[in-house]
Structure 1
Amino acid sequence: MRLIVLLFFILSSSSLLAQSGANLGPNSGAYPKIPSGQLIQHTWHSSMYPNTVRDYFVYVPAQCDASVPAALMVFQDGHTYVKEEGDFRVPIVFDNLIAQEKMPVTIGLFINPGHDINMEVPDNPWRVSNRSIEYDTLSDRYVQFLEEELLAEIKKQYHIADDPSMHAICGISSGGICAFTAAWRRPDIFQKVLSHIGSFTDIKGGHNYPPMIRQTDKKPLKVLLQDGSKDLDNEFGNWWLANQQMAAALAFKNYEYKFMKDSGGHNGQYAGQVLPESLTWLWSDKVPERMASKVYRRPNLGVQNATMFSGETMHLSHLQCDAIEIKDSMSFFDSDHEQLFIVIDGQVSAAVDAKKQTLPNHSVIFLAQGDHLKISRRDTTSLVYHLSFAARQAQKEQTPSFTVSYEEVAFTEHSKGGVRKYFDTSTHMCGRFEMHMTTLKPGLKSHLPHTHKAEELIIMIHGKTEEEIGNARYQGRSGDIYYLGAHVPHAIKNIGEQPAMYFAFQWF
């Protein structure tokens, strides 16, 4: 039996070793404007597992404040999760998601399994001597090792939250079942679990978990499982079926769980591709609810007043966009919000505090707090997008209202199309307040995915585009609006046959 287990680990580790990091999305890339955390390597000699030595790594985010308790996430087989060119690149993903406020400020603890100090160190880190002893055993010994040794050690240096719902644990293959065992045995320490291709098979009894889950009182756990339909199938069991049984058992007991599946094998490729989404879901209960970065569709014509989106953002306590068909004279006043009016279709007459003018299609009106606007149509149909917003904290003194007529904005041609610069200023609500209109030639991408502190709306005027937002892709046409949250990587491409035109409006 021991020979069979050893052969399994040689074969499975070869599969795990074949990691390339291919097809990772923008949220797994490093960006110069994203604050970078620090990764520190250490060595540990264990007393719980005598005569073993291991390396471990501690990730400290740039936003870490010693006066504020941080969340904690522990990774088994730490070497594969911190590898710069590997499938996961967790420190980079943490940098991005923490900056985007999609996960809390989190200390990462990446632990390698132990190896006998009397044995030669293998070239393959998956083949260290103590991996199966620590990971596949269903007892509480490993989580006791974490609690009494490594967690106790890092708590000497970092302010870790005591709340177990602020503690997550993750692993791949045998490390996946190890992560679940740690939380199952000690939900007073860990209440969030992320398992990649978890070995819930009969290596050392892991196949018993599904009935145990069904027959045991529900525990305060949030669990994400990931597996592929071409995962291992051998004398210990079928990994794909075992993970499906785990998911079914969690569903039966009404656990908060998610099962992310694909057609992959026993490796971390798909797990790495969906890691940003996995972490976003796992930590969603510990971050503020924000307006989603995605495309918001133009409402059907004939609707006099339709709200396209409304919510909070990182920089704004409130942001709302209403599509308004101007039929008669309409008045606007708000003492709490700044407002922006964008003429999408037709001409309008606008009077800001009794100063009246005619504005053509694609003109813009900024209305300061406490100012009055009267607007009426000049064409059969006039469609206006009305943005209202309030900052979390005022930036400066009151800013005067202003208008920008499309006819007065010069067009500057460049190799990808051209640009019209509407304004670049600051307001009472926003330290940066900038808008331009871009013309983008067919088949071209504006730029590679990049990030910035500013939040942004891309308001489509003409053409068909595709916007990368984080790891997702959305398509937009005339009148659609892309919302891009702060620090979210993004890039737009013209996928139509004609030049595309769109407003880009940024603020912070």
Structure 2
Amino acid sequence: MRTTALLFSLSISFGSLAQLQPIAADVYRWKDLKIEKEQTRERRQVLEGSARDLDLLEIHTSALEPGKSPHPPHTHDDVEELVIVKEGNLRVTIKGQSKILGPGSVALAIPGEEHGFENGGNTRVTYYIIKYRSKLPMNIDRGKQAGGSFMIDRSELTVKTTDKGSRINYFERPTSMAQRFEMHVTTLNAGMNSHPPHTHRAEEIVLLISGSGKIQIGEQHKDASVGDLIFLGSEVLHAFTNTGQEPCSYFAFQWN
């Protein structure tokens, strides 16, 4: 009976994985995300599905009151986890090392390395969790040789002025799940566009952190504002324009 139950459980798990649908290139709006109240946090599910290079991409947000944690420290065997702090101060602990990260800071935990989160401030903290698994076999050695898990405090990064606004480079490196993973923040002055409409093989996520704008996705043009997440599939035509009266900032990251 135990063997039968185990096989049934495995069939359900693999069946669920096989049913993941490709994620649509679109704007996933903060105001439309449903709030799920749990014992220690408020959770918003943003998206879940597959992509060209990923058999799993799942994104949600958590909001914690001071002193609260979403769950005990844990590890993942087969997914990487990227964290982006939206507001407040998040204490991130990876392999026993802790750091309090403020708005715009990020952390990445590779498979097999224990990590945990706690509100490290006196006000509510809200952060994005991005979990992903590559279609190609993960390469733990590659991830460790590139530096393994890490935490980046936004306040410690250099802002570089550009002819359109500014740019902050976060990282560009291999990980256990990607041969190349690149992440930066772009700030566009009012009326400026990121670049002419273009395509590239790498999938990309854009996350608005201030201001507002309009994103071209294929032949459509859609509004986006703070907290909105934009998923751009491989070879999807896209461009972003600041349509507001103030500077607009957003994370942009892609992998292959």
Matched, 1:413 2:161: yes
Report the Cα offset of residue 379 of structure 1. Answer: 3.4
Would the alpha carbon gap of residues 421 and 300 (structure 1) be closer, same or farther in structure 2, given more than 3 Å must change?
same
Please identify the structure whose Cα radius of gyration is greater.
1
8 Å contact from structure 1 (residues 308, 323) kept in 2: yes
Matched, 1:479 2:220: no
Q: Name the structure 1 match of 2:127.
A: 384
- C-alpha distance in 2, partners of 1:443/1:396? 43
Q: Name the structure 2 match of 1:70.
A: none
- C-alpha distance in 2, partners of 1:503/1:335? 27
Secondary structure, aligned partner of 1:379: coil
Report the Cα offset of residue 289 of structure 1. Answer: 4.4
Secondary structure, aligned partner of 1:307: strand
String of CA shifts for 1:365-402, please: whole Å, max 9, x gaps.
10100111121111311001000000000363342111
Q: Name the structure 2 match of 1:356.
A: 98
Q: Name the structure 2 match of 1:310.
A: 48
Indicate the structure with greater strand content. 2
**RMSD, aligned α-carbons:** 1.6
TM-score by length of 2: 0.83
Matched, 1:329 2:72: no
Q: Name the structure 1 match of 2:83.
A: 341
Counting only pairs closer than 5 Å after superposition, residues 422-461 of structure 1 correspond to structure 2 as: 422-461=170-209
8 Å contact from structure 1 (residues 395, 431) kept in 2: no
Secondary structure, aligned partner of 1:407: helix
The residue identity in structure 2 corresponding to 1:347 is: N
- C-alpha distance in 1, partners of 2:102/2:155? 7
- C-alpha distance in 2, partners of 1:379/1:409? 24
Counting only pairs closer than 5 Å after superposition, residues 201-350 of structure 1 correspond to structure 2 as: 289-298=21-30, 299=33, 303=37, 304-327=42-65, 328-330=68-70, 331-350=73-92
- C-alpha distance in 1, partners of 2:85/2:26? 22
Secondary structure, aligned partner of 1:336: coil
Q: Name the structure 1 match of 2:217.
A: 469
- C-alpha distance in 2, partners of 1:489/1:467? 10
8 Å contact from structure 2 (residues 58, 130) kept in 1: yes
String of CA shifts for 1:377-436, please: whole Å, max 9, x gaps.
113110010000000003633421111110111000011001000000011111110100
8 Å contact from structure 1 (residues 343, 385) kept in 2: yes
Would the alpha carbon gap of residues 427 and 409 (structure 1) be closer, same or farther in structure 2, given more than 3 Å must change?
same
Structure 1: unaligned runs, 5 residues or longer: 1-287
String of CA shifts for 1:318-355, please: whole Å, max 9, x gaps.
00101111231233421111000000111111111110
Would the alpha carbon gap of residues 335 and 397 (structure 1) be closer, same or farther in structure 2, given more than 3 Å must change?
closer
Secondary structure, aligned partner of 2:55: strand
Secondary structure, aligned partner of 2:25: coil
Indicate the structure with greater helix content. 1
8 Å contact from structure 1 (residues 394, 430) kept in 2: no
TM-score by length of 1: 0.42
- C-alpha distance in 2, partners of 1:417/1:404? 22
String of CA shifts for 1:176-210, please: whole Å, max 9, x gaps.
xxxxxxxxxxxxxxxxxxxxxxxxxxxxxxxxxxx
String of CA shifts for 1:109-151, please: whole Å, max 9, x gaps.
xxxxxxxxxxxxxxxxxxxxxxxxxxxxxxxxxxxxxxxxxxx
- C-alpha distance in 2, partners of 1:336/1:475? 35
8 Å contact from structure 1 (residues 366, 402) kept in 2: yes
Would the alpha carbon gap of residues 371 and 479 (structure 1) be closer, same or farther in structure 2, given more than 3 Å must change?
same
Structure 2: unaligned runs, 5 residues or longer: 1-19
The residue identity in structure 1 corresponding to 2:204 is: E
- C-alpha distance in 1, partners of 2:129/2:247? 26
- C-alpha distance in 1, partners of 2:237/2:153? 31
- C-alpha distance in 2, partners of 1:301/1:289? 23
Counting only pairs closer than 5 Å after superposition, residues 103-118 of structure 1 correspond to structure 2 as: none
8 Å contact from structure 2 (residues 111, 140) kept in 1: no
Would the alpha carbon gap of residues 496 and 431 (structure 1) be closer, same or farther in structure 2, given more than 3 Å must change?
same
- C-alpha distance in 2, partners of 1:332/1:386? 14
Q: Name the structure 1 match of 2:108.
A: 366
Would the alpha carbon gap of residues 501 and 302 (structure 1) be closer, same or farther in structure 2, given more than 3 Å must change?
farther
- Percentage identity across paired residues of the two chains: 30
Report the Cα offset of residue 466 of structure 1. Answer: 0.5
Matched, 1:503 2:251: yes
The residue identity in structure 2 corresponding to 1:416 is: K
The residue identity in structure 1 corresponding to 2:24 is: A
